[in-house]
Amino acid sequence: MLYLFVTGFRIGIQSLVEDGLPPLANKRIGVVSNHTGVTPEFEHLVDVLYFKFHLNVKAVFAPEHGFRGDLPEGFSVESYVDDRTRLPVYSLYGARLKPSKDILNELDVLIYDIQDVGARFYTYISTLFYVLEVAGETGVEVLLLDRPNPITGVRMEGPILDARFRSFVGIW
């Protein structure tokens, strides 16, 4: 991972911050993230936007394992208020898998920043699918902060999912 930073490669959050946050000026912001959405200095995206840049972050959406990554796999996440920021955190794992259209209608942009390893059984790609689906239906802009696959990401392998077995754990 250090090699990426030495060669000048930037992850999405770095590009956003170093380029001056242009797509976020005067916007009502929602963030879909977990404990992996951090800067190279391990500052969380939400903390950076909210505390450092004082942007108008209105909501956080939590995938499996919760927003701060402190819940075990398969644990149903309920919505709550984040202790650090006092922002509402809406669960996208449990009773609701998609963001509410009512909540999205109160936002201008959704930022998605979650590290994934490209394994089908990781639910983060399913969360992204549903976020994009509802954002498209409501006209909310999505800003996807990309991160390299830590397991090289050089080749795709494995069988294609049989549609009969499609679920949130294997949506593709």
CB-side neighbour CA atoms (13 Å) of 64: 16
Tens-digit pLDDT profile for residues 18-40: 888 878 989 999 999 999 999 98
Question: What are the two backbone dihedrals, phi and then psi, of residue 33, each rounded to the nearest 5 degrees?
Answer: -160, 175
Tens-digit pLDDT profile for residues 28-72: 999 999 999 999 899 999 999 999 999 999 999 999 878 888 877
- Residue ranges of domains in the chain: 30-147
Rounded to whole angstroms, what are the CA distances from 56 to 45, 60, 95, 109?
Answer: 13, 12, 27, 11
CATH number of 30-147: 3.40.50.12170
